[in-house]
């Protein structure tokens, strides 16, 4: 946790761990969600979501920035986006597959 002092007002800022594109794709698979369905549910262009995940769009501004932040690929602020679509989960172990 980082504490910032700005004009004598202290803000507690929790540092969020970022995900890689691979981790995001694995999380979609783990939850049984399609990337297209997630994109439509969050009013994002499906094509842009795939481009951000593939790395062909860096998410510097506009909707690509919003997508990257929403997926946890980069830090940033997006108005109207209250939380990430899913929390970061610990890596799946081999024993998790045995049921």
**Within-domain flag for 58:** yes
Which structural domain, as residue segments, surrounds residue 47? Answer: 15-74
Say if 63 falls within a structural domain.
yes
Q: What are the two backbone dihedrals, phi and then psi, of residue 41, each rounded to the nearest 5 degrees? A: -65, -30
Instruction: Tell me, yes or no, whether 7 lies in a domain.
Output: no
Q: Specify if 52 maps to a domain.
A: yes
Helix (H, G, I), strand (E, B) or coil at 4: strand
CB 64 within 8 A of CB 58: yes
Average pLDDT over residues 60-84: 81
* Number of domains composing the chain: 1
pLDDT digits (tens, 9 = 90+) for 10-61: 444 455 688 999 999 999 999 999 999 999 999 999 999 999 999 999 888 8
Burial tier of 8 (Cβ tally within 10 Å: 0-12, 13-18, 19+) = exposed
């Amino acid at each position: 946790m980082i504490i910032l002092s700005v004009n004598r007002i202290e803000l507690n800022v929790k540092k969020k761990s970022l995900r890689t594109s691979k981790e995001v794709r694995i999380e979609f698979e783990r939850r049984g969600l399609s990337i297209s369905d997630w994109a439509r549910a969050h009013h994002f262009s499906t094509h842009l979501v795939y481009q951000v995940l593939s790395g062909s769009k860096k998410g510097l501004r506009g909707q690509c920035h919003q997508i990257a932040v929403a997926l946890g690929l980069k830090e940033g602020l997006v108005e109207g986006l209250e939380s990430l679509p899913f929390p970061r989960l610990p890596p799946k172990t081999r024993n998790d597959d045995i049921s």
